[in-house]
Structure formats: structure tokens, C-alpha cells
Structure 1
Amino acid sequence: MSNILLGDDDEELTQLLQEYLHNHGVRCDCVHDGEAVIERLKTTMQDSSPYDLLVLDIMMPKIDGLSVLRQLPAISDIPVIMLTAKGEEIDRIIGLELGADDYITKPCNPRELLARINAVIKRTSIAVSFTEQLPLPSSRLYLDQQQRLCQIDGVELQLTGTEFDLLLALLRQKGEVVSKSWLSQHVLQRELQPFDRSLDVHVSRLRKKLQPFHDEPIKAIRGKGYQLVL
């Protein structure tokens, strides 16, 4: 059974989601403000069974969700799905830029949330070594899928789970143009939707982390997709 933390100040909604998720094999603890999210994560990081994922509402009392995301790297590398108000695109973009793995708009369909949770947990819990699956022809880049480790020229890069999977997908087709629709299906585990900029934001974050090693590590090919050239 997966184990998640849900941070949202809507107690009626969290109870509904908690019951639905539990009935579908996901244990869900709920807290109702940003401070409680941070404290709960700090506490569970010391346990033998930390959370698999955080579902985080943007609008919360005491500390808002975006501020929690800013503090999160110093506390945990837990994957995050944001809950955002319908139409608040700027919050979604900022959240993705701060390292969130995915988002869903409120009011959310419990079935859709469950699908997003399962997709993100699946992406971040694969226990197969990438180096055993696909030996790399270049000594510059080293990826270990089991440890979620990425190194370039011996320097370790701090990547989110989504960034790691995106780099992995591009690397497997290095030199080829990979379509946005394919990346959305295989990395984000969903169909590419019109006006959804999630994939572009993840690529932009990954590109910035790779740029110290190459001026243009990922090329955007207009109307086609992305190409890894590192």
C-alpha cells in the first residue's frame, strides 16, 4: 500500500479524498496548513517508512504551498503533486519551476487524482539499474536508475524525479527529435493537452541544470519536440 501525505485546509475535501484513496490501496494522512506539512515531513524522514508522495494545496494558512515547495529540498526529495485552483496557471507554472512533479486542478476528481498519484509513484520507484539496461557510450553522463543518481563529468546533479525520467527518456533516443506527445505519455504518464505547459517547464528546468556542461544541451525543435545533444 502506498503511503502519501495530503496537505489541504479543506477538511471536508480531505476526508472525502482520504476515504476514496484508502479504498483503492493508498494510505493517506492529512494535515491542514503549510507548517504542519513541513513538521510532518521532518518527523517522518526520521522513520523507517517515509511518505511516498506529497499532495500539496497551493492556498493554505500559515505557510502557503509555494513556500513549502521552496523549503522542501532541504527537508526531503519526496515527489509532489500540486492542487491548484482552476484557472490559476501562474501558480502551476511557479510550482513546477520549484520542483513539483505534477499538478491537478480543484475541485479534483478523486479517480483522476488516484491515477496521477499512481503514475508519479511508479515513475519514482523503479528498482532497475539504468546502467544494467543500457550501457552508455559516453563517459560524460552517468545515470543509475536504481539510486536515481545523475552525474556529468563526475559532478552529481540534483534532479527531481520527473527531471530524471525526462533525461532518461531523451538519452535513450539521443540525437533524435522526441515529440512532446511521446514525452508526455511516457514521462508524465498522460496525454498531452492543449495549453498544458507542464512538459515545457520540466524541460526548461532540466536544461538549466545541464547548461554548465553544454551551451545548448536540449534543443527545442519547433513543431516537433526536443532533442538531447549533450
Structure 2
Amino acid sequence: MQRILLIDDDEQLGGPLASYFQRYELALTQAVKPSAGLALLREEHFDAAILDVMLPEMDGFELCRSIRKDNDIPIIMLTARGEVMDRVVGLELGADDYLPKPFEPRELVARLQSMLRRRSNSQVQDTQNELRFEGLSIDPARRSVTRQGEAVELTGTEFELLHMLASDSGRVFSRDDILNHLRGHEADLYSRAVDIVVSRLRKKLEPLDCIKTLRNAGYSLALRRLP
């Protein structure tokens, strides 16, 4: 059973949500304070995390930043309905998806299942051979990336995007192509999310200038592939 960590100070949310999650073979653990949630992530294994934006001690954005320092666990952020800026900031800090409050539990489960399925498929796919380019190496089996010989820490979404571009280098992927791959067909299209993830990835791959933007078309990986 896959384990999900919920960090939300609403103590009335965890119990009913945990019971609902059990129907889908998901085990939910709740922490009502960020410090308790961070301690659980250090001590135990979880397959994904759900963070509320409004929290005591620190807000969900700062919490997401803290988690991303040493953990690439898939993260969904719960944002206020209609607060587009919350979604943008969350994605910029490394969240993989967002869901406005109030939410339907079935939609939250669907988002989680989509993220977990993509992660699992990536880990067991047949194309396990290392992808090597000038200055860049991608190891799908280990989900690791090296840039000019140095390891690069990527979030799950950043790795999925880079691997997608590298698997068919030179091809131009539209924003819709990328959104459907990263977040599933059931997710609302949110083009700004793609731009944010691409921007983060570009920064982490500097000084390599490898992700090209084609106006009104999309993105491609522009590096020479090595044998």
C-alpha cells in the first residue's frame, strides 16, 4: 500500500480522508504542524505528500522549499480557490501539482494516482539505458542527472520533463504535449505551469543552454546526442 503524508492543521480532515483513501489502497498519515511533517519525512518512507498553503510555524510555500532541499517526493499543494498566484508560486518552488480548496476527495485521489503512476512507469520502463549528450547524462533507472560531470538535483516533475525531451531530442513538444505527459489527461490545462517548470529546469542545467523555445510551437532539447 502506498503511503501519503498530509500536512494540514485541520485535525478534522485527516480521519475521514484516510478512510476514503483506503478504498484506493492508499495509506494516509496526517501531521498538523510542518515541523512534525518534516520529521516524519526524515524518519519514514512516503510515496507522495499533500501540503496545505495556510499552516502554522511556516506556510506551505516555505515547507515545500524545505522538503525540496533533499527530497524529490511528489508534492500536491492545496491552494485557495481562484488564487492563481498561489499555484504559480507553488510550482516555482517545486510542487508537482495543485488542487484548489474546497476539493472533492475523488479528484485528490485521481491526481495522486496520476503522479504515482507516472513515477512508477518511469522507474520500470524498458528504455533504461543512459541517455548521453554533450555535457549532459540522464540515467532513467536511477532517475539521476549529471551536468558536466556534476550531479544535478531535480524534482520528479523536472526529471520527467527532461527525460521526455531527451527521449526524442530535436522534436518540438507543445505545451499540451508536456501537460498531458506530466499531469495526465484529466488535469486542467494550465500553460503557465509548463513555462514555470521549464524555467526551473533551465536554471538547474546552467551553464548548458540546452532547452530551446520555438515561438508558438513549444520546447525541444538542443544537444548533440552521444553514442
When the two structures are superposed, what TM-score results if normalisation uses the length of structure 2? 0.88
Q: Secondary structure, in 3 states, of the residue corresponding to 1:178?
A: coil
Farther-moved stretch of structure 1 (157-166 vs 137-146): 137-146
Cα offsets for 1:67-107 (capped at 9, x unmatched): 11121134533221111111122122111111111111111
C-alpha change, 1:74 and 1:218, in structure 2 (3 Å) is closer
Distance change >3 Å, CA 62–CA 132, structure 1 → 2: closer
Q: Percent identity?
A: 41
Residue 217 of structure 2 is aligned to residue 224 of structure 1:
yes
Is 1:185 the counterpart of 2:180? The answer is yes
The amino acid across from 1:101 in the alignment is D
* Counterpart position of 1:141: 136
Match of 1:8 in 2: 8
Superposition map of 1:40-59 within 5 A: 40-44=40-44, 50-59=45-54
Partner SS for 1:150? strand
SS at match of 2:185: coil
- Residue 106 of structure 2 aligns with an amino acid whose one-letter code is R
Question: Does structure 2 retain, via aligned residues, the 8 Å contact 1:141–1:150?
Answer: yes
- Given that 2:175 and 2:191 are in contact with CA atoms closer than 8 Å, whether structure 1 keeps it comes out as no
Which residue in the other structure is 1:104 paired with? 99
The alignment yields a C-alpha RMSD, in angstroms, of 2.1
**Where does structure 2 lack aligned partners over 5 or more consecutive residues?**
none
In 2, the alpha carbon distance for the partners of 1:168 and 1:75 equals 20
Matched, 1:158 2:153: yes
What per-residue deviation string (whole Å, max 9, x for no partner) do you get for residues 31-51 of structure 1? Answer: 11222211222222xxxxx00
Gap runs ≥5 in structure 1: 45-49
Task: Select which of 152, 170, 173 maps to 1:175.
Answer: 170
Q: How far apart are 1:129 and its partner, in Å?
A: 6.8
- Aligned mates of 2:57, 2:155 — CA distance in 1: 26
Checking the alignment, whether the CA contact within 8 Å between 1:9 and 1:60 is kept in structure 2 is yes
Q: CA deviation at 1:131?
A: 6.1
Instruction: Give the whole-Å Cα distance in 1 for the aligned partners of 2:170 and 2:186.
Output: 24
- CA apart distance, 1:196: 4.7
Q: Distance in 2 between matches of 1:52 and 1:144?
A: 21
Structure 2: which amino acid aligns with 1:33? K
Paired with 2:156 and 2:189, the residues of 1 have a C-alpha distance of 24
Q: How much does 1:13 deviate?
A: 2.8
Residue 199 of structure 2 is matched in structure 1 by: 204
Change (3 A) 1:98 1:42: same
